[in-house]
Every structure is written in structure tokens, then in C-alpha cells.
Amino acid sequence: MTDVHGRQGPETRTRILDAAEALFAENGLDATSMRMITGRAGVNLAAVNYHFGGKDGLIQEVFRRRLTELNRRRLVALEALQRAADGAPLRPSSIVKAFFGTALEMAADMDGGGARFLQLMGRTYTGPNEFVRNFLAEEYAECVDRFLTELYRALPDVPREEILWRFHFMMGATSYAIGGADALQLFTGEFDDRDPARLEPRLMSFLLGGLRGALPDGGGQATQARRSAA
């Protein structure tokens, strides 16, 4: 049904979200105007305001529709590991794969928009938009807390602060790798660094190497960290 303002139902809402997601990924959040979004979606401003209440609400829904599914997949993977472990601590490598591997799977989804969204996420983590960063922190909170709890159990001899640092670095490396920076291509002129089949094993190896690395103080806990993170 369409009212006098041309506002439609779910189809129009999805079209607006798809247009906004693509433009945000291409130009960044702040550089994308509402006029650009309405032009790409083929709707008027009243339709955007009707469905989302304005640009801030639209930004939130662009992220929420993908993050809800991404975090659901992550928790499904984590719960499968927990059932198989039957109360025993999980292997850190399995925890890392359950969290970051699901993001890489989404990044490989070229047709369904997953790759584009993960590129947007990569840009957002390094951007200055505090409103969005705070929103993402809230959306991620429950999922991240559950994964961190399992890492704490899996690495009891590694200080929790150190685990937090390493998780932070793993988030950063993943965001950069899937954010479309094309750094290797810039350096070499011919290297395709966005092929999911080539990216996933290399990135996972890198993340696990960081998790296994020696502790900053060079103390005896480094050996335990390396052994436990297998």
C-alpha cells in the first residue's frame, strides 16, 4: 500500500537500506547526504523519515540488520563449541575462528551485500563518528562479552587486560583486512588482497599468531600463552 507521500512498505524500506549501505561504504557516513540516498533509492525524503526518522536512525538500521545476523551466527558457532566441550575450556583457536571466521564468511558474500557491509564496518572503526562507534559498542556488547569470557577461561595464565589488548588488535586487523583498503595492490600494482579464498587462511594465521605471542614483559607466562592458544 502507498499513501499520498509515496511511502511504501518493506520493499521501499529495503531499497533505502541497500542504497544507504552502498553509499556509506563508497563515501563514508558523513560524506553521504540524504539527497544522495533518496536519489539512489528512488524515493523522497518523506519516505526515509517515515521508515527511519532521519539519518541517524537510518545509519543505525543499516548496521543493525547485518550485525544482528552476524552476531547470531557467531553465537551459534560458540554454543556448538561449548556443547562439544561439555564444560571444559575451549581451544582459543576455535574461539577466534568462531568470532572472526563468521565475519570473513560474510565478507565473502558478494551477491548478498555482506562484502559491502564489512567494507563499511572497516571504514567505520577507523572513522571519527562517535555516535556510530558508541552504537556499535552497544550492539556488540553481549556477543563480545561471551567470547571474551571463553577466552579468559581458555587462557587462565594470561592477564585479562592482555587478552583485551589482543582482542582489540585482532578486531583492528580484521577490519583493515576486509575494509577494502587495497594496501597490497597499492604497493605492488598487481596484488589482489580481497580474494576471500586467499584472505581467510592468511588472516586467521595472523590473528592466532598475535594471540600466541610473547607477553610484553617477556615473563614466563609467554610460554603458557603460546601453548594454550593452540
- Kindly list the structural domains of the chain, giving each domain's residue range(s) and its CATH number in brackets, ordered by start: 1-53 (1.10.10.60), 63-228 (1.10.357.10)
d(CA 136, CA 142): 11
Q: What is the pTM of this model?
A: 0.82
| pLDDT at res. 128 | 62
pLDDT in tens, 159-203: 999 999 999 999 988 888 877 556 666 666 666 656 667 788 889
pLDDT in tens, 59-89: 999 999 989 999 999 999 999 999 999 999 9
What is the distance between the terminal CA atoms of the chain, rounded to a whole angstrom? Answer: 56
pLDDT of 2 strictly over 60: no
Q: Are 128 and 28 in contact (CB under 8 A)?
A: no
| pLDDT at res. 127 | 67
